[in-house]
């Protein structure tokens, strides 16, 4: 693994939280992610299945966790199945976990080879009433590829049709939304790596630099610090910043442009997600600064509203109403347009058309109840923006916020964001 080891007590705690929610005689099966093909015999780098990692810390392909808290045999109540290492695998794919190594990472006492799984599952199914199976139920998912979890579901339902099958995803959505102090520390580490990358960008930003050159600086800095890209970065200069999911990153950063950088490092699979907008020549124009400060005010006030008990819909609506007033002052909206504002058709939509933020953790868009309310332990992004294509201005600012009983904690507070601070750093 590239990242430093994580104490297995974190995963032991997660499994206890899950089993505490299960009714009697339940069986849980959670799979690793598939290796995804490219062309020919190529495959993409394996992305660890977030649910399996959250429960075990295991990042190896074809691994399976089985939980049966009421199994007759105590040794079968918690089992981890991994591929059996052999000389051929070692030669072609490299090191595979031994039973002792899998046990050390996960804290699962009983580790078995994957070949044992079918027989063990049959025995456990014979004494189980409910079978909890996993699926990707993320509200933004539109994947058409069938996962290992769903293939198992089809097989089990066909072979054992009289069992009661349940969805595991709602339980994990509830549990994973609340981060433990150990998880928050890992997110902080990802934010710190991202901060170093952005400061590296500031040290080389100048008219004539290419967007992909800035991306290269980020990749290098993340790699040096044992991190990876949590998602495809957006490096968008000038009017490119008005394309919300722009990631061609192949254009020149020109004198007078702003460059919007939406990037996050992944550390131990926990993600950061930050956005900063910088003047390419080192100085904001008066118009750029006015728009920037408007976005910054909405960001700061929205962070202050990220409090326990607040529902996401109300949180977003408050930002829209504030953004209406900022756009009015910038001359982008009229009083008549603001007067017609409704929750279904916010006046600001033409210039601020996306959401205010999302849950963050083992994924850039992590699992959480879709309307909240915010609960202490949630980590969320806050990311207002203003996009004016006709002026070639796109400004988004984004920080990662921890919800606590005492109020919001800005995990990105050390990352430069004030316009004077940014101009000072660029001047150096």
Read off the pLDDT of residues 68-86 as tens digits, 9 standing for 90 and up. 999 999 999 999 999 999 8
Instruction: For residues 243-260, give the mean pLDDT.
Output: 97
- The bridge status of strand 130-133 relative to strand 164-167 is parallel
Give the mean pLDDT of 9-24: 98
Catalytic residue among 196, 228, 301, 354: 354
Residue tagged active-site, from 262, 322, 326, 366: 262
Measured distance CA(172)–CA(183) in Å, rounded: 15
Q: Which of 3, 103, 317, 365 is catalytic?
A: 365
Express as a percent the part of the chain with pLDDT over 70: 100
Choose, from 326, 398, 400, 410, the residue flagged as catalytic.
Answer: 398
Q: Model confidence over 44-55: pLDDT tens digits?
A: 788 899 999 999
- Contact, 6 vs 53, CB < 8 A? no
400 is catalytic: no
| φ, ψ at 281 (rounded to 5°) | -90, 5
What integer pLDDT is reported at residue 313 of this predicted model? 96
Concerning whether 41 is annotated as a catalytic residue, the answer is: yes
| CA 6, 9, 12, 18 torsion-angle sign | negative
Per the structure block, which two tokens stand in for 23? 């009714």
Query: Which pLDDT score, from 0 to 100, does residue 138 have?
Result: 74
Q: Which of 61, 217, 257, 383 is catalytic?
A: 383
Instruction: Quickly count helices (H) and strands (E) in the chain.
Output: 13, 17
What is the pLDDT at residue 34?
A: 83
Q: Over 80: is that where the pLDDT of 141 sits?
A: no
Q: Which of 31, 173, 276, 396 is catalytic?
A: 396
Q: How far apart are CA 337 and CA 328, in angstroms?
A: 9
pLDDT at residue 22, rounded to an integer: 98
Residue ranges in 205-266 assigned as alpha helix (H): 211-224
Tell me if residue 163 is catalytic: no
Every domain of the chain with CATH number 3.40.350.10 lies at 9-175
Which carries the bigger pLDDT value, residue 142 or residue 369?
Answer: 369
**Residue 337 clears pLDDT 80, i.e. is over it:** yes
* Active-site hit among 87, 100, 140, 245: 245
pLDDT of the residue at 370: 86
Structure confidence at residue 176 (pLDDT) = 96
Please report, rounded to a whole number, the percentage of residues in the chain having pLDDT higher than 90: 87
Task: Select which of 59, 61, 215, 273 is catalytic.
Answer: 273
The pLDDT of residue 148 is: 87
> Does the pLDDT of residue 165 top 80, yes or no?
yes
Identify the pLDDT of residue 218. Answer: 98
Instruction: Say which residues have a Cβ less than 8 Å from residue 401's Cβ, sequence separation at least 6.
Output: 303, 306, 357, 379, 380, 381, 382, 408, 409, 410, 411
In contact, 178 and 377? CB cutoff 8 Å:
yes
Is 383 catalytic? The answer is: yes
Checking if the pLDDT of 143 tops 80, the result is no
User: What pLDDT sits at residue 44?
Assistant: 79
Active site residue 95: no
Least confident of 87-96, 207-216, 304-313: 87-96
Residue 350 pLDDT level (bands cut at 50, 70, 90): very high
Per-residue pLDDT at 105 exceeds 90: yes
406 — pLDDT class (breaks 50, 70, 90): very high
Residue spans in the chain of domains classed CATH 3.90.230.10: 181-427
When the pLDDT of each residue in the chain is averaged and rounded to a whole number, the result is: 95
Query: Is 358 in the active site?
Result: yes
Could you confirm whether 273 is annotated as catalytic? yes
Residue 111 C-beta-side C-alpha neighbours within 13 Å:
19
The CATH number of domain 181-427 is 3.30.70.120: no
From 226-235, 348-357, 362-371, 395-404, the region with the lowest mean pLDDT: 362-371
**Whether residue 365 lies in the annotated active site:** yes
CB-CB contact of 1 with 26 (8 Å): no
Q: Which helix (H) or strand (E) holds 295?
A: helix 286-304
pLDDT on residue 375: 96
What is the predicted pLDDT for the residue at 140?
75
Query: What CATH architecture applies to the domain 9-175?
Result: 3-Layer(aba) Sandwich (3.40)
The arithmetic mean of pLDDT across residues 167-184, rounded, is 96
DSSP single-letter state for residue 356: S
* Catalytic status, residue 354: yes
């Amino acid at each position: 693994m590239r990242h430093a080891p994580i104490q297995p007590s974190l995963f032991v705690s997660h499994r206890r939280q899950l089993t505490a929610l299960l009714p009697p005689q339940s069986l849980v099966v959670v799979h690793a992610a598939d290796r995804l093909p490219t062309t020919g015999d190529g495959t993409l780098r394996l992305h660890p299945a977030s649910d399996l990692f959250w429960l075990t810390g295991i990042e190896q392909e074809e691994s399976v966790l089985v939980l049966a808290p009421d199994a007759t045999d105590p040794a079968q109540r918690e089992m981890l199945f991994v591929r059996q290492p052999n000389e051929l695998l070692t030669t072609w794919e490299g090191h595979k976990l031994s039973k002792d190594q899998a046990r050390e990472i996960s804290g699962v006492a009983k580790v078995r080879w994957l070949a044992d799984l079918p027989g063990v599952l049959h025995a456990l199914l014979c004494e189980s009433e409910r079978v909890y199976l996993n699926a990707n139920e993320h509200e933004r998912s539109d994947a058409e590829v069938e996962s290992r979890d769903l293939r198992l579901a089809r097989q089990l339902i066909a072979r054992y049709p009289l069992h009661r099958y349940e969805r595991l995803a709602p339980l994990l959505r509830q549990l994973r939304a609340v981060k433990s102090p150990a998880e928050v520390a890992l997110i902080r580490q990802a934010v710190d790596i991202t901060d170093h990358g952005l400061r590296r960008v500031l040290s080389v930003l100048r008219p004539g630099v290419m967007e992909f050159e800035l991306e290269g600086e980020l990749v290098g800095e993340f790699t040096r610090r044992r991190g990876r890209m949590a998602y495809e970065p957006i490096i968008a200069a000038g009017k490119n910043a008005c394309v919300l999911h722009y990631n061609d990153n192949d254009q020149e950063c020109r004198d007078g442009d702003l460059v919007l950088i939406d990037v996050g490092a992944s550390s131990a699979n926990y993600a950061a997600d930050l956005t900063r907008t910088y003047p390419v020549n080192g100085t904001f124009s008066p118009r750029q600064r006015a728009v920037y400060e408007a976005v910054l005010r909405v960001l700061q006030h929205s962070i202050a509203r990220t409090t326990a008990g607040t529902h996401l819909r109300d949180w977003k609506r408050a930002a829209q109403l504030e953004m209406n007033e900022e756009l009015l002052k910038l001359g982008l909206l009229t009083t008549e347009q603001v007067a017609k504002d409704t929750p279904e058709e916010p006046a600001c939509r033409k210039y601020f058309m996306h959401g205010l933020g999302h849950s963050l953790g083992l994924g850039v868009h992590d699992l959480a109840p879709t309307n909240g309310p915010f609960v202490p332990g949630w980590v969320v992004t806050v990311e207002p923006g203003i996009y004016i294509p006709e002026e070639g201005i796109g400004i988004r600012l984004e920080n990662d916020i921890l919800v606590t009983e005492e109020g919001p904690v800005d995990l990105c507070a050390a990352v430069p964001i004030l316009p004077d601070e940014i101009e000072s750093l660029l001047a150096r």
